[in-house]
Structure 1
């Protein structure tokens, strides 16, 4: 799914446009090869890649008790990181079963943001495995700051990226 840029969104879900559904790696590549790369997207736009049946909103039953790991990127490097993260999720490199709900790329004016959404915010061992796998598949430097935010906290403060827990 893609959220197109525009004025302040009052209904986030209605601002999204489904681009495609795929069931195999081959089908994914057939779609992906025709998409704009992150560096070609305008500011304040998002790509969402979620499992079939899971809506990319905090309130979805698969997401409501979960959260997301967040990595903030300087402008200009998101394309490679996004592709690596998508390949890792599609290739089941996280090895946490059905825990991963989806991934999001958020293009903003001063930074780009990658996030990986999971079902269970309070499963510490699983969450750390997701964080560590994300660091590994993206080849992030050891000093990279990663953030975590539960979807319940996001609902409470109506924000995806403010008031996060920071991990160094």
Structure 2
């Protein structure tokens, strides 16, 4: 019997660079169990790997746009990594996220995104629900210690008072 996660996680793909509305996104897959996560993990190359596309993993039907009601009071930790390291970091972060061990605040992490940039680097973002929870100390120490990343926090709607 498969153990269900507390939350489901949707894999999204953004294909149209000019269209940042919901019509530019496609939901590809939903993860409800660790077995489904490992199935996806073992088949990322069939999707083209995260270095070739703009992928998102979002919690409980949250749409990967800042304007989604679940996102607009939140933000993201953003960091740039070498293209050669992006898939491994994505795998580390996504496993911590779906098992709810990426943050010390229950329920605050709502998504993860990765996008290849022109200079052989990828930008990876950890999305959270509340921009008030923007301290790096909230993130998993194992990730920070392993990767030693330069990370900035960006509020989705900085003019909104939470």
* Shorter-chain TM-score tier: 0.7 to 0.9
1:79 is aligned, of 78, 83, 87, to 87
**Distance across 2 between alignment mates of 1:75 and 1:11:** 23
2:151 is aligned, of 123, 139, 146, to 146
Task: Please tell me whether the aligned partners of residues 39 and 78 of structure 1 are also in contact (alpha carbons under 8 angstroms).
Answer: no
Q: CA deviation at 1:41?
A: 5.2
Task: Please tell me whether the aligned partners of residues 37 and 79 of structure 1 are also in contact (alpha carbons under 8 angstroms).
Answer: no
Is 2:143 aligned against 1:137?
A: yes
* Count of residues paired in the alignment: 146
User: Match for residue 4 of structure 2?
Assistant: none
For structure 2, which runs of at least 5 residues remain unmatched after alignment?
Answer: 1-11
Task: Please tell me whether the aligned partners of residues 39 and 76 of structure 1 are also in contact (alpha carbons under 8 angstroms).
Answer: no
User: Match for residue 27 of structure 1?
Assistant: 36
**Distance across 1 between alignment mates of 2:123 and 2:47:** 11
For structure 1, which runs of at least 5 residues remain unmatched after alignment?
Answer: 155-168
Task: Please tell me whether the aligned partners of residues 38 and 107 of structure 1 are also in contact (alpha carbons under 8 angstroms).
Answer: no
Task: Please tell me whether the aligned partners of residues 54 and 113 of structure 2 are also in contact (alpha carbons under 8 angstroms).
Answer: yes
TM-score norm. by structure 1 comes to 0.75
User: Match for residue 159 of structure 1?
Assistant: none
Task: Please tell me whether the aligned partners of residues 56 and 64 of structure 2 are also in contact (alpha carbons under 8 angstroms).
Answer: yes
For the aligned residue pairs, the C-alpha RMSD in angstroms reads: 2.6
Q: CA deviation at 1:12?
A: 3.8
Task: Say which structure is richer in helix.
Answer: 1
TM-score norm. by structure 2 comes to 0.78
